[in-house]
Structure 1
Amino acid sequence: MAVNPTDIRYTEEVFKLFLSAMVGCLVGLEREIRRKPAGFRTLAIICVGSTLFTICSYKLGFPDNEDRIAANIITGVGFLGAGVIFRNGFSVSGITTAATIWIAAALGMLIGIGDYAIALLSLAVSLIILWAMQFLQNFIDARFQHRSYTISYKDGFDSDELQAKLTQLQLKARNFKETRQDVQTSFEFEVSGKESNLNIFNQWLKNETRIYSFMW
């Protein structure tokens, strides 16, 4: 019995779509568990979409110029990634989610061209980065953090005392900005150092009677 080449091609294309859906779900699972904007459904759709567009680039008659559609996939994914990045003061959130969207699209494109080995290897590396590296990041964050402070204090409190305390706790401060209004002075600055020392510094601020208030 002769095998129809068209049937083989369609079977492989269906396999590509289901594989890309599974890969997208695996990449998005970590984002879903951490309650991030793009979960496994979103990333599965992005991965499947990238695979579908890559397949279309062949079907539309561009077998030797696949980058025509691939370039547009990258552009579209860039808009999606930009939509999940937010800035609040000194902090920026959503960068990892944007990068995850980007890698999901790349995995979908690899599956679309039939390079399954590289796609699965890239998936494994991505999962290691998303899961295993989180423990390393938590360890680093516990030992070295950045905080922005705003304190208000009465006359009689010397800012040199503040800097002496920071030096004592081995905390690095920068971007000092002092504002005076009547008998009250406000002081803004950024501090970096160990979390335990930052907590001791917070307690010292709470116990200092000459300080009206502080925020961080």
Structure 2
Amino acid sequence: MDLNLSQETWNLVFRILVAALLGGILGLERDIHGRGAGLRTHLLVSAGAALFMILSIRIPTLEIATPAEVSRVTDPGRIAAQIVTGIGFLGAGVIIREGFTVRGLTTAACLWVAAAIGMAAGIGLYLIASITTFLALFALVLLRKLERYYRKDVYRDLEVKVSNEVDVRRILDVIMSNEVMVTFFGIKRDYETHTTTATMSLRIFYRGTADKLSHEIIHRLEQSHIPLKSVRWFRS
């Protein structure tokens, strides 16, 4: 087997290796945080995107037809466009909704960026690909820490069941605070079971972890001496 590759071939191989390296860097960060699409996935996406970009550039130059026919039947932009479409399907596969939380959005965006990095490396834009990689790492690592220091909003639904004798305004008095705003409040009374169901939509202002404040709201109700039958968060 003759391994004396031309300089041009080595250049194309180098592009794929650069794409794999940069995509792998992003994938390593996702892998460290236990995401399903990690090192191998990002590496493959970036390297594959680079190869597709190389093909999109090279196909019009292949001696498969006359120049007139090549210009008529080949479009380098088609393959690049299909990369974006394919990454959309791949990204959708890593997005999961668990209760009140949607997981995988950042990983899906990371896959999208990894593909773009691979495409840039595939056409030889190494500096652009490298800068984009470090910008993505900045967003994934440093901005994650910054999120702890500013307040964010989350919307959740709460259901509280009490006996019909309980004044439901007591429930509101317990829940209302500087961190919680009630955007909807509904009451349903069942006279057969003597149960009042209070349903409310809450806007929670939190800094850090929203689940911690959610548990605190439940704790407030339990410590309020209101005779509760049940309390639960639910998804409307």
TM-score (norm 2): 0.79
Aligned to 1:34: 33
Q: Report Cα offsets for 1:123-144 as digits up to 9, x if no partner.
A: 1101000111111223346x75
Equivalent position amino acid for 2:165 in 1 = G
Partner Cα distance (2:117, 2:213) in 1: 43
5+ residue gaps in structure 2?
A: 63-70
Q: Report Cα offsets for 1:19-70 as digits up to 9, x if no partner.
A: 1111111111121111112001001000000000001112211799431110
Identical-pair percentage? 31
Deviates more, 1:48-57 or 1:166-175: 166-175
Aligned to 1:206: 222
Q: Is contact 1:57–1:69 with CA below 8 Å preserved after alignment?
A: yes
RMSD (Å) for aligned C-alpha atoms = 2.5
Partner Cα distance (2:163, 2:148) in 1: 37
Partner Cα distance (2:156, 2:198) in 1: 14
Partner Cα distance (2:97, 2:187) in 1: 25
Q: In the TM superposition, what are the counterparts of 1:166-205 in structure 2 within 5 Å? A: 166-181=175-190, 182-191=193-202, 192-194=204-206, 198-205=214-221
5+ residue gaps in structure 1?
A: none
Which fold has the larger relative contact order, with Cα–Cα distance below 8 Å and residues 6 or more apart in sequence? 2
Deviates more, 1:84-93 or 1:45-54: 84-93
Deviates more, 1:151-160 or 1:50-59: 151-160
Partner Cα distance (1:114, 1:170) in 2: 51
Partner Cα distance (1:128, 1:55) in 2: 28
**Residue 87 of structure 1 aligns to a residue in which SS?**
strand
TM-score (norm 1): 0.86
Aligned to 2:65: none
Aligned length: 211
Partner Cα distance (1:188, 1:90) in 2: 16
